[in-house]
C-alpha cells in the first residue's frame, strides 16, 4: 500500500508507457481485469475475466488516462462503446508488435517497515559508510 495521501505510480507509468510505445510507432494495448468493480467494457469480448484493449490514437476517441481511471470511446464490430476502466483493473500495457511493455503489480507495495533503530539511537547509515550525510558547520 502507498502511504496515506500518496499519489499512485500506476497512472504515471501507464501514461509514460503509452507515450513510449506510440512514439516508437507501435500499437499500445492494455490488459484489463474485467472482474474488477466499475469496469465498463463490452462483456462479449471478455475472455477468462480479462480483455485486451487497443488504446492507440487511431483506434480510440477521447482517450483519457487519468489518475484513477482510463476512459475512451471505441468501436467493436461496428458498435460504439464508452469504455471505463478503474486503473486498479489495468494489469499491464504492451506494444502489440513486439510484446514489450510493463506488467503492474498489485498496487504499489509499501516499502518494508523500518526495523527498530539501533541501540545508539541513530537511524542513519553505519559509521564509515560513504553514503552517510555529512554536515559542516558554517559560521
* Residue 25 domain-assigned (yes or no): yes
pLDDT band at 131 (very low <50, low <70, confident <90, very high): low
* Residue 108 domain-assigned (yes or no): no
**Span 88-128, pLDDT tens digits:** 999 999 999 999 999 998 754 444 444 444 444 444 444 55
Distances in whole angstroms, Cα of residue 14 to Cα of each of 32, 63, 70, 73: 12, 13, 10, 18
* Residue 67 domain-assigned (yes or no): yes
Q: Which of 28-42, 47-61, 109-123 shows the lowest mean pLDDT across its residues? A: 109-123
Distances in whole angstroms, Cα of residue 68 to Cα of each of 84, 86, 122: 11, 6, 39
* Residue 26 domain-assigned (yes or no): yes
What CATH number is attached to the domain comprising 47? Answer: 2.30.30.220
What is the rounded distance in angstroms from the CA atom of residue 47 to the CA atom of residue 44? 8
Query: How many structural domains are present in the chain?
Result: 1
Cell output for 101: 511493455
**Span 4-34, pLDDT tens digits:** 777 789 999 999 999 999 999 999 999 999 9
The mean pLDDT of 70-99, rounded to a whole number, is 96
Cell output for 86: 478503474
Q: What is the DSSP letter of 90?
A: E
The residue range of the domain holding 89 is 10-103
Q: Which residue has the cell 477468462?
A: 48
Amino acid at each position: 500500500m502507498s502511504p496515506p495521501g500518496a499519489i499512485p505510480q500506476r497512472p504515471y507509468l501507464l501514461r509514460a508507457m503509452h507515450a513510449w510505445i506510440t512514439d516508437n510507432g507501435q500499437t499500445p494495448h492494455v490488459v484489463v481485469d474485467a472482474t474488477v468493480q466499475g469496469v465498463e467494457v463490452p462483456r462479449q469480448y471478455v475472455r477468462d475475466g480479462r480483455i485486451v484493449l487497443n488504446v492507440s490514437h487511431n483506434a480510440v476517441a477521447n482517450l483519457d488516462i487519468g489518475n484513477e481511471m482510463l476512459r475512451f470511446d471505441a468501436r467493436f464490430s461496428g458498435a460504439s462503446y464508452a469504455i471505463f476502466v478503474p486503473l486498479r483493473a489495468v494489469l499491464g500495457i504492451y506494444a502489440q508488435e513486439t510484446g514489450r511493455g510493463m506488467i503492474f503489480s498489485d498496487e504499489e507495495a509499501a516499502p518494508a517497515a523500518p526495523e527498530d533503530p539501533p541501540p545508539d539511537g541513530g537511524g542513519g547509515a553505519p559509521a564509515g559508510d560513504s553514503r552517510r550525510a555529512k554536515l559542516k558547520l558554517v559560521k
